[in-house]
Structure 1
């Protein structure tokens, strides 16, 4: 008879927020989303002393949205999900705190640069310090995920691991561009990170959105009857989405051919619209944690259509970029955090805080204000941007009000997590 060796010591941490990575990274990421967007509003309108000679303010904003906010949420999600996928315990307690502090110090350095603070007479010194901490953060996160996946030989996760490795390269390119005063290199690093994050969202979203829909709707109704909901997904869609997205990514970054861009962007949009049709169930509109994910994916599809049309209609490329970032990074991460934060703290995913409807609606407002209103009326462009910034900040403020207490408290069932 085979004996089972139980762990001699149960995991523990000095505070519940350090139990698992999603707690601290979701909390800090949400707060940072407010701080960095508020600061961007001042930078954008010329009300800070940012050193534009060292770094284009647009790339300051882009870097912190991608390698600051988005990567924090990715870290919180992956360092939690990999534990579920592999059964290998992820960093917690002081080890998790060490990874988080690297992220935090890098963000403080970037905030200081945005404010125009100088060290030893140079604001660039802050970015040099940020480079060290940022690469330590990404490198450590990638290492623990690689180690867990290889330990149990889950080679099907190699796509996600490859994206993490490339994100490290992308961030390094950003810093190398700053150090060598090569703004083109920094731009490549920013866009490489952006499209890798979108690639991760498409990959992870393909897995979790249908799972969440099935779990969220296959529950007893008022009459005690359970409708088993199954949504459609297939391998051909996965392969087509990956190939079209890879072609789009290469074309938009390195080979700006309008025919290839239109074909590849439309390909991504069409494949994922077909996927959304297969995922659709009327019951999602009764569940804010489901319709938010669905709308986020739909917003990504609309954004890829905007990419396809942009070379022919002549509107600003940044409209499509911001559509994809607000839907694929903003809306998708908020919706994921709202669901994961409940499930992994032992709370009911069927009874989210009532405020979540307003939270998700505000992100929709941000999308409409930043994408559609400038297409209709460019004469009020600054107003539309300020409206989108305000809606973004309000969305994350509501998230912090409703979810930070949940993330900072122990599980009600007393389990570690």
Structure 2
């Protein structure tokens, strides 16, 4: 058995928000989700000076949702989870601040570019600034995770490291496409990043969602009797989901054959629907921290069905893509942040903030407005988009109201974390 050496001195940081990565990255991701969606509403309606010759505004939006918002949540989760998985202390205090600052400066570059801020230099200079700090951010995150995994020889985590390496490649392609004025390269980099994030969600979700359901429901009932809840998992489902998803992602990105897309997308949907049936327990509907995760996976399955039908029914490909993004990135990340932010700050997951049903309900409204309503009525498309943007912003405002104080406060038990 691998022995882990405990630090001789207890860890310290200048502020509780820098104790562990989830605190600062979840806080920043939530605030950024509000800022970037508000700015996107202005970009979408043509009220900024973004250089449309340098980048398609849709790709500006897509890049910041994937490599800005989603990757911040991934960083907060992984740099916390790897400490739990390996027992190796992750960056905290000023080292964590350094990693976070790289992410923040990259976001400032993209926001300035989106606004069209002119400080006497080419607008593309903002993207050069963003590129440098984005690469430092992803590189430093991958390095500390790789070092911890090697230290304890947990080679089963190499799949996650491979995804981080490909995310670095995808982000680099986005920048190269903008710099070389090749929007096809930018598109490949953006879609590669998006599908890798969804792959991470499927991989990590398979590990943690059933664990959260079992832990969340295996508690004493009103009569004081503890019910042990066990959900089903299957290695065969894991392999089938991975293979179907890999084939789907390569097909949609590089070889959009309608027959292959339909078969692979339906394969992913069916495997994960069967998986969801094995995870289901009627008790989840009493606990927003659980039903939100279940609904997120269900929304992903529905989105894969939309991918499968899209070549034959004829609606826009972006409807299926946004369905997968809202369920797999939006709902899944905010559900995970809500749960992790309680458990890892020493607070009870059984008494979450009372606003959770409203928070998750607003994200469901985002899905309905951005995905389902355009399917039945395209004549009010702009209205549905604005409704979705408003619900997204409202969702994260409520999250910030409920969680920022928790994320910035010391643990009630006095422990470091």
Normalised TM-score (structure 2): 0.99
Deviations 1:22-55 (A, max 9, x none): 0000000000000000000000000011110011
Residue matched to 1:41: 41
SS at match of 1:308: helix
- C-alpha contact (below 8 Å) 1:174/1:187 kept by paired residues: yes
Distance in 1 separating the partners of 2:307 and 2:182: 27
Distance in 1 separating the partners of 2:338 and 2:300: 19
Kindly tell me: are residues 5 and 304 of structure 1, through their superposed partners in 2, closer, same or farther at Cα, counting changes over 3 Å?
closer
Deviations 1:128-150 (A, max 9, x none): 11000000000000000011001
Residue matched to 1:31: 31
2:176 aligned with 1:176:
yes
Q: Summarize the alignment of residues 12-91 of structure 1 with structure 2, pairs less than 5 Å apart.
A: 12-91=12-91
Residue matched to 1:354: 354
Residue matched to 1:334: 334
Kindly tell me: are residues 391 and 277 of structure 1, through their superposed partners in 2, closer, same or farther at Cα, counting changes over 3 Å?
same
Residue matched to 2:277: 277
Kindly tell me: are residues 275 and 190 of structure 1, through their superposed partners in 2, closer, same or farther at Cα, counting changes over 3 Å?
same
Deviations 1:54-112 (A, max 9, x none): 11100000000000000000000000000000000000000000000000000011000
- C-alpha contact (below 8 Å) 1:373/1:384 kept by paired residues: yes
SS at match of 2:121: coil
Residue matched to 2:108: 108
Distance in 1 separating the partners of 2:85 and 2:379: 50
Residue matched to 1:400: 400
SS at match of 2:106: helix
Shift of 1:6: 5.4
SS at match of 2:354: coil
Shift of 1:317: 0.2
- C-alpha contact (below 8 Å) 2:4/2:88 kept by paired residues: no
SS at match of 2:13: coil
Gaps of 5+ in 2: none
Shift of 1:119: 3.8
Shift of 1:7: 3.0
Kindly tell me: are residues 378 and 234 of structure 1, through their superposed partners in 2, closer, same or farther at Cα, counting changes over 3 Å?
same
Distance in 2 separating the partners of 1:357 and 1:241: 30
- C-alpha contact (below 8 Å) 2:4/2:87 kept by paired residues: no
Residue matched to 1:264: 264
Shift of 1:339: 0.1
- C-alpha contact (below 8 Å) 1:119/1:126 kept by paired residues: no
- C-alpha contact (below 8 Å) 2:265/2:307 kept by paired residues: yes
Shift of 1:121: 3.0
2:345 aligned with 1:345:
yes
Distance in 2 separating the partners of 1:5 and 1:155: 19
Kindly tell me: are residues 182 and 412 of structure 1, through their superposed partners in 2, closer, same or farther at Cα, counting changes over 3 Å?
same
Which stretch shows the higher mean deviation, 203-212 or 7-16? 7-16
Distance in 2 separating the partners of 1:193 and 1:118: 29
SS at match of 1:222: coil
Residue matched to 1:289: 289
Q: RMSD of aligned C-alpha atoms?
A: 1.0
- C-alpha contact (below 8 Å) 1:289/1:335 kept by paired residues: yes
Residue matched to 1:415: 415
2:183 aligned with 1:195:
no
Q: Summarize the alignment of residues 145-184 of structure 1 with structure 2, pairs less than 5 Å apart.
A: 145-184=145-184
Distance in 2 separating the partners of 1:144 and 1:66: 21
Distance in 2 separating the partners of 1:95 and 1:363: 33
- C-alpha contact (below 8 Å) 1:22/1:75 kept by paired residues: yes
Q: Summarize the alignment of residues 315-326 of structure 1 with structure 2, pairs less than 5 Å apart.
A: 315-326=315-326
Shift of 1:122: 1.0
Distance in 2 separating the partners of 1:10 and 1:24: 20
Shift of 1:5: 6.9
Gaps of 5+ in 1: none
Shift of 1:4: 10
Kindly tell me: are residues 237 and 114 of structure 1, through their superposed partners in 2, closer, same or farther at Cα, counting changes over 3 Å?
same
Shift of 1:248: 0.2
Moved over 4 A (4+): 3-6
- C-alpha contact (below 8 Å) 2:86/2:148 kept by paired residues: yes
